[in-house]
Structure 1
Amino acid sequence: MTAVVGGRLSWFKEIYAAPGSSETKAESGKFTGYAGLVHALNKDWSAYVSYADIFEPQAERDVGGHALDPVTGRNYELGLKGELLQGRLNTSFAMFRYDHSGRAVRDLAAGFACDGWYCSRASGKVRSQGGEAEVSGEVARGLQLFAGYAYTTTKYLSDPENEGQIFSTWAPKHMLRVWADYKLTGALRNVSVGGGVNTQSHTLGYGRTFNVPGFSTWSARLAYQVTPEVSLALNVNNVFDKRYYVPAYSTTASNNHYGDPRSAMLTLKYTPLR
């Protein structure tokens, strides 16, 4: 069993000046702590648990021109990490809970009162929680794999306007990323081929009145080791030229943007031998 403890002292000072007025926001010696335990279950697997305080200064201001107080909260994590195949393959599994209060959100009710744009207000208590799983390394001779899955939910626990609502409308509940790269053998031993997919579930429009569809994009790579010092690689992103909307502050009338179309990049790399 290994115990890890730590802390941070923070000082910050922010001066906001406008015609005819100014405001100073400051904090001196704010302490945020961290603590964790790691238990080696055997030579390959370890379990851990951790806790951390949250303190994030922010520059946004409210309709009265006052800077918002820093974001405060707590983060908890519980996980398992392991090495397989004599250390060639790394795996991790984690569950997390992140509670915070005071993060700046748009104050739509105030209109464009802050220099012709929306002001901000401090949110109530928000909880983000979920789990992650990841595996990476050499799963077979010449085959490198990365796969990661994340499940995330965000919710207002208390708020004068949005209690019970989803907090982060642009954060997908499910996200999966997979990439594999294989180095050929024999006469083609200098060639490697790769491919992968990024996929995510739907998100919400800014007003939480409609779904922004989820999407999957595929990528591919072909590489050739010309000499020990020179390599050539062709990467193609969004191979099938998928048309999709980027999660953002989408509304029924505006701010709906397509993601990047198919693109290709040819790279020549020279690495001198030591």
Structure 2
Amino acid sequence: MIGDPVLDRVASLLGRARRILFITGAGISADSGLPTYRGIGGLYHDRLTAEGLTIEEALSGEMMALRPDIAWRYIAEIEANCRGARPNAAHRLIAALEQEKPMVCVLTQNVDGLHADAGSRNLIEIHGTVHRLRCNDCPHGRKVPDYAGLQIPPECPRCGGVMRPDVVLFGEPLPPRAIERLEHVLQDGVDLVVSIGTTSVFPYIAGPVVWAARAGVPSVEINPGDTEVSHIVDHRLRLGAAEAMAELWQRIHPHEPAED
């Protein structure tokens, strides 16, 4: 990649930027061994569950209310496929940039918790995280490292209700506080928007890129394939997330060792 002019231009933008919004999807976790997917994973691509349901039906808010055992069965399978995954270079380098810049915010669709594990603190987990449980019937919540040994579905120790992962299931609204935080970030202003590993099919994920185009703010997409915002962004890197971020980091920090 040495001498690639697009990488050089994007590295220059990253190096100069003081306020950056990163938008990430399943593609950023692919180098950590997780499947890329729309909402859930390659686990259920074009096939029904054992109950003859689509995965959208099985993992819906309605199913969690009516048959939590079914919803939990597939949530637990997803968590098991994420278990043991570690942040890759892309997660770590975004977190490192947060330490260097006045403001770096990550808006992620991922529920795997890898951005937090890498050290990102200004993090908007718009779809929640599998590592946090909350009760359906009372305000009780708790963090869990994984679901190993967890009774499925788990019972709330406070009220005896059903605990559920604090994630957005199909048919459920986005968390208002997360939307408000994103709105505040854009209102306060950013000088670079970087979309990584997402097809940007959801309006709230494509929205900041559209906002950047209208506001004259530079934008970058890192994704091997075409997406809903590929025709809008100023610069495209057709690379995987970890490879692209490692190349960019080396250009910004030429005297530091490369990330693996």
* TM-score scaled by length of structure 2: 0.24
- Greater RCO between the two (CA within 8 Å, min separation 6)? 2
* Structure whose alpha-carbon radius of gyration is higher: 1
* Larger proportion of helix: 2
* Larger proportion of strand: 1
